[in-house]
């Protein structure tokens, strides 16, 4: 399968996703918006992955390519392509589906539990997920749940952590606010670019980077989500 990814900054790549897709025989390509690249049409790929980034989805003036990206996400959904959004990508997908993104009451950075709603285990996206797990978070905004979707996960700091739906076009659309794809090496690079101020739901780099088992567990769940998302 041809999977195409939208990337937003050079230091946030695909994490464990790239080797996971390669190991399953899929091909992964990318549009690097930060490098001035133009997104292709949905006829060139079979599924669309929308990654994270430090900008906000409403910063069109600072990042004018956001408008083109939203149009490309809409085109993918209209064409019936599976779409998966992660963090910023989840917010972009929600926005395209008519649900706003706003500032969350608290920034959430580090390892915090995510709990599944009862219906999540029956959803195509999160089948096989545990009822509660620790996820790696790095966000200050939050998305609303689009019409036709249900809130499938929440954390103490953020009510809307995941949603999934099948659109009228047949597209399988899933979104997560947290980062299952991030490896410990990725997180080290992120902290080289930013050291967030401590807060109630903001952990220190030392605490985050000391959780090697948690990164491994998250990466296993990322592979599960990819398999669910790309299944026929």
Task: Give residue 64's pLDDT band: very low, low, confident or very high (50, 70, 90).
Answer: very high
Mean pLDDT of 33-41: 98
The domain limits of the chain are: 2-230
Residues 6+ apart with CB under 8 A from 230: 1, 3, 24, 26, 47, 82
Catalytic residue ranges:
87, 179, 181
Reply yes or no on whether the pLDDT at 232 is more than 90. Answer: no
Per-residue model confidence (pLDDT) at position 121: 84
User: What confidence score (pLDDT) does residue 166 get?
Assistant: 96
> How large a percentage of the chain has pLDDT more than 70?
100
Q: Does domain 2-230 have CATH number 3.40.50.880?
A: yes
Check residue 57 and give its pLDDT. 97
Give the model confidence (pLDDT) of 85-135 as tens digits: 999 999 999 999 999 999 999 999 999 999 999 999 889 999 999 999 999
The whole-model pTM stands at 0.97
The arrangement of strands across the sheet holding 2-7 comes to 27-32, 2-7, 47-50, 83-86, 172-176, 162-166, 150-154, 101-116, 132-143
Taking each helix axis from N to C end, the angle separating 65-78 and 88-96, rounded to the nearest 10 degrees, works out to 60
pLDDT band at 150 (very low <50, low <70, confident <90, very high): very high
């Amino acid at each position: 399968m041809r999977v195409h990814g939208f990337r937003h900054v050079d230091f946030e790549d695909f994490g464990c996703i790239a080797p996971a897709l390669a190991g399953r025989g899929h091909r992964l390509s990318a549009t690097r918006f930060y490098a001035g690249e133009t997104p292709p049409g949905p006829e060139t790929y079979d599924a669309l992955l929308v990654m994270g980034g430090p900008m906000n989805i409403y910063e069109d003036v600072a990042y004018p390519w956001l408008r083109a990206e939203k149009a490309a996400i809409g085109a993918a959904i209209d064409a019936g392509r599976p779409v998966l959004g992660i963090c910023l990508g989840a917010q972009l997908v929600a926005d395209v589906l008519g649900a706003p993104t706003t500032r969350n009451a608290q920034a959430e950075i580090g390892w915090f539990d995510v709990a599944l709603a009862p219906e999540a285990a029956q959803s195509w996206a999160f089948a096989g997920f545990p009822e509660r797990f620790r996820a790696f978070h790095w966000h200050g905004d939050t998305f609303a749940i689009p019409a036709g979707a249900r809130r499938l996960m929440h954390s103490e700091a953020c009510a809307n952590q995941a949603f999934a739906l099948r659109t009228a076009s047949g597209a399988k659309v899933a979104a997560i606010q947290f980062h299952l794809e991030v490896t410990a090496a990725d997180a080290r690079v992120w902290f080289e670019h930013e050291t967030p101020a401590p807060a109630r739901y903001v952990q220190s780099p030392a605490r985050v980077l000391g959780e090697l088992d948690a990164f491994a567990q998250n990466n296993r769940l990322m592979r599960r989500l990819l398999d669910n998302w790309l299944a026929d």
